[in-house]
Chains A and B, each alone.
Chain A
Amino acid sequence: MITCLADTLFPRAGQATVTVLEHLGCDVVFPAEQTCCGQMHGNTGYRDDGLGLARRACRVFADAERVVCPSASCVGWLRETAPMLAAAAGDDALVAELRGLAPRMRELTELIIDDLGVEDVGASFPHTVTYHPTCHSLRGLHLGERPVRLLRAVRGLQLVPLPSAEECCGFGGTFALKNADVSMAMLADKVRCVGDSGAEVATAVDGSCLMQIGGALSRQRTGVRTMHLAEILAARE
């Protein structure tokens, strides 16, 4: 599952996901019927629209052995939030469909570490990198050390710690637009911490948070760029 955001604006994250998985021997299929998982609608209060899109995702991926997605927040939405809202809405059929999807659904680093049992994906990326644990990956999916273990195995990569790493970057989906001022106050602190880390590249497992952080890094001409974790894992520099 390639998120609508990656499909439209950050295709390199999607391409890198395919590259890494194929390198690890997976048979990758991209069902072109997929659109959006419904997270934005669901989290913004448009429950029925969000659940409609979640139902659509269940059906598009009904036959897949594993459904892997390079976004912790989209995975969290389909595995946890959508079933909670569907149950509250009394939609038992959808709850059942989502329960059918959940055990097959993986965030990218879960698939690589838990299912494939791999830490060294063969990547080489001779740059200084800092890792931002996104809220949905850290407190939602509890990915723990998985992304960092993968980064540590990348040849040439120097991983530097991000100060106050566990603080939210201020994206929060439509929060970034509805509460743009608070979002920017949070982002200002995150960007300062990225700068303080001394990294050349900031990475994470959620394209949306990277769009937020990268948007400010670029606006401020900091000379630091963002890359999705998948792009680093696919790198052969």
Chain B
Amino acid sequence: MSEGFPQAARAALADTQLRRNLAGATATIRARRAAAVAECDDWQELRDAAEAIKTRTMARLPELLEMLETRVTEAGGTVHWARDAAEANAAVAAVAAAHGADEVIKVKSIATDEIGLNEALAARGVRAFETDLAELINQLGDDWSSHILVPAIHRNRSEIRRLFARTIAKGRPLTDAPEELAEAARVYLRERFLSVPMAVSGANFAIAETGAVCVVESEGNGRMCTTLPRVLVTVMGIEKLLPRWRDLEVFLQILPRSATGEPMSPYTSLWTGVHPGDGPEEFHLVILDNGRTDVLADELGRQALHCIRCSACLNVCPVYTRVGGHAYGSVYPGPIGAILTPQLKGLHAAPTLPFASTLCGACLEVCPVKIDIPSVLVHLRGRVVRETRGRVTREGVMMAAVAKAFGSRRRYERAQRLARLGHGPLADQVMGRWTAMRDLPEPPAQTFRSWWRERQG
């Protein structure tokens, strides 16, 4: 991140169009999710089950990943192990090169954004076309995702109409009507579906016991990509694994309801290896680590890997809904991004993100796999202070002084007296940037403890 979250957020807060777009869109999805969840009498039981499945999976991950490799291979697929972004990108590029493909079409995938796949392919002369409508909007606008599920949530219809008018729908009349905008994208994308020989997808789930890969989406463009081209490459993080086929029973209920507020996603695609005459002739599965094993080593922080990318936490977060995704400086924004990004990329790369929260707990309340985001945030704040800062910082000195003052009754009472005069460690901590925007109460005539002392006589 070139700048910290507070600075980026400050700029975002001043963007009135962004504020309006975000507030409207997140309120709509939030209401839809609440209604979809209210339909399920067993919602809390589903959450408990999802959490338990994820916890069990993480405990047996190496063994289950090897099972997945065996099943995918048996079904005619090829598995590639990638320790980091460079290895994953090289694996995808090698498949493209083997087929002489200079174009690929893509299913919406955050894992491929995480590893910078499009840029890596471009550097090797391969052009990647995003086919998810929102991803396409971002790609055409040379923009990037600001939401896990709704990557162009920061754009409204008028902005999209103007963008299409100068790119894929040049010279054609276009209004703000969603149908017209969708049609312009459809015309453009269908040509790609029918001509491009290779597709790249991410994965929502992969099933260890069968080797099946699952992608859930709303538009059907993902299914075009996973069925029409001759070659399909899927990039999945190691944490996307589920042990058993029947585990989907839980996750295919909680994901769509949490994500789009639907009982079921319009398109749920599942495929296992290759089948002659049906779908791609070649299937490659790239299994990506890219920092995830390090996250597993942190006993409290590792629950961040349970995330199924529903983005319910973004839509309820009072910080995200005001500043949007770009301020987080990562492909994973919002509360989940605030605990995932510093762990995946290293605390040094995103030291301000764990502090980008009031710990209000709205994220935990909606998380379908019960990730205790507030607790992980507090834990990571501690790691940032202990692991990334020099020995002496202004804040550290101040906090140490306050802790010392709180450490004994005598020092505390002295600090209270100073604070009432507007000096000393307590006053420094409390006043600071506070009074720029809010009043502080007049210091009371006496503290509680002096009142108590007098009262006791």
Distance in angstroms between the alpha carbons of A85 and B322 in the assembled complex? 30
- Given the complex, which residues of B lie within 8 Å of A174, measured CB to CB? 355
Distance in angstroms between the alpha carbons of A84 and B374 in the assembled complex? 12
- In chain B between 427 and 442, which residues have their CB closer than 8 angstroms to a CB of chain A? 429-430, 432-434, 436-441
Are B444 and A9 in contact, with the CB atoms below 8 A?
Answer: yes
Are B300 and A88 in contact, with the CB atoms below 8 A?
Answer: yes
Knowing A43-B381, A182-B9 are in contact, say whether A32-B360 is a contact too (CB < 8 A): no
- Given the complex, which residues of B lie within 8 Å of A9, measured CB to CB? 430, 440-441, 443-444
Are B420 and A8 in contact, with the CB atoms below 8 A?
Answer: yes
- In chain A between 29 and 54, which residues have their CB closer than 8 angstroms to a CB of chain B? 30, 32-36, 38, 40-47, 49, 52-53
Knowing A47-B382, A139-B360, A211-B441 are in contact, say whether A35-B448 is a contact too (CB < 8 A): no
Contacting residue for A179 out of B355, B361, B381, B407, CB 8 A: B355
User: Can you name the residue of chain B whose Cβ is closest to the Cβ of A166?
Assistant: B362
> Is B156 positioned at the interface, with any CB of A under 8 Å from its CB?
no
Could you tell me the distance in whole angstroms from the C-beta of A151 to the nearest C-beta in chain B? Answer: 22
Could you tell me the distance in whole angstroms from the C-beta of A21 to the nearest C-beta in chain B? Answer: 13
Distance in angstroms between the alpha carbons of A136 and B362 in the assembled complex? 10
Could you tell me the distance in whole angstroms from the C-beta of A176 to the nearest C-beta in chain B? Answer: 7
Residue in A56, A170, A180 with the greatest tally of chain B CB atoms within 10 Å: A180
Distance in angstroms between the alpha carbons of A8 and B448 in the assembled complex? 7
> Is B294 positioned at the interface, with any CB of A under 8 Å from its CB?
no
Size class of the contact patch on chain A: 35 or more
User: Can you name the residue of chain B whose Cβ is closest to the Cβ of A36?
Assistant: B406
Could you tell me the distance in whole angstroms from the C-beta of B126 to the nearest C-beta in chain A? Answer: 40
Distance in angstroms between the alpha carbons of A176 and B434 in the assembled complex? 7
Contacting residue for B382 out of A11, A45, A172, CB 8 A: A45
A-binding segment of B111-119, B191-199, B282-290, B449-457? B449-457
B-binding segment of A61-69, A110-118, A119-127, A214-222? A214-222
Distance in angstroms between the alpha carbons of A184 and B13 in the assembled complex? 10
User: Can you name the residue of chain A whose Cβ is closest to the Cβ of B375?
Assistant: A84
User: Can you name the residue of chain B whose Cβ is closest to the Cβ of A47?
Assistant: B382
Are B439 and A168 in contact, with the CB atoms below 8 A?
Answer: no
> Is B399 positioned at the interface, with any CB of A under 8 Å from its CB?
yes
Are A139 and B382 in contact, with the CB atoms below 8 A?
Answer: no
Are A172 and B360 in contact, with the CB atoms below 8 A?
Answer: yes
User: Can you name the residue of chain A whose Cβ is closest to the Cβ of B436?
Assistant: A180
- In chain A between 126 and 144, which residues have their CB closer than 8 angstroms to a CB of chain B? 135-136, 138-140
- Given the complex, which residues of A lie within 8 Å of B400, measured CB to CB? 49
Binary contact readout B338-373 vs A (1 if CB under 8 angstroms, 0 otherwise): 000000000000000011111111101100000000
Distance in angstroms between the alpha carbons of A189 and B441 in the assembled complex? 21
User: Can you name the residue of chain A whose Cβ is closest to the Cβ of B10?
Assistant: A181
- Given the complex, which residues of A lie within 8 Å of B378, measured CB to CB? 42-43, 45, 81, 84-85
> Is B323 positioned at the interface, with any CB of A under 8 Å from its CB?
yes
Are B447 and A53 in contact, with the CB atoms below 8 A?
Answer: no
- In chain B between 292 and 345, which residues have their CB closer than 8 angstroms to a CB of chain A? 299-300, 318-319, 322-323
What are 17 A-B pairs at a CB distance below 8 A? A7-B416, A7-B448, A8-B419, A8-B448, A10-B444, A11-B447, A43-B381, A44-B355, A52-B407, A56-B407, A85-B378, A135-B361, A176-B434, A179-B6, A179-B355, A180-B436, A218-B439
Q: Given contacts A41-B403, A45-B381, A186-B322, could you give 6 more A-B pairs where the C-beta distance is less than 8 Å?
A: A38-B406, A41-B402, A139-B362, A179-B6, A185-B322, A186-B358
Using a CB–CB cutoff of 8 Å, the interface residues on chain B facing chain A are: 5-6, 9-10, 13, 299-300, 318-319, 322-323, 354-362, 364-365, 375, 378-379, 381-386, 396, 399-400, 402-403, 405-409, 412, 416, 419-420, 426, 429-430, 432-434, 436-441, 443-444, 446-449, 451-453
Using a CB–CB cutoff of 8 Å, the interface residues on chain A facing chain B are: 2, 4, 6-12, 14-15, 18, 30, 32-36, 38, 40-47, 49, 52-53, 56, 81, 84-85, 88, 135-136, 138-140, 166-168, 170-187, 211-212, 214-216, 218-219
Which 7 residue pairs spanning A and B have beta carbons closest together? A172-B358, A215-B438, A45-B381, A139-B361, A45-B385, A168-B360, A49-B403
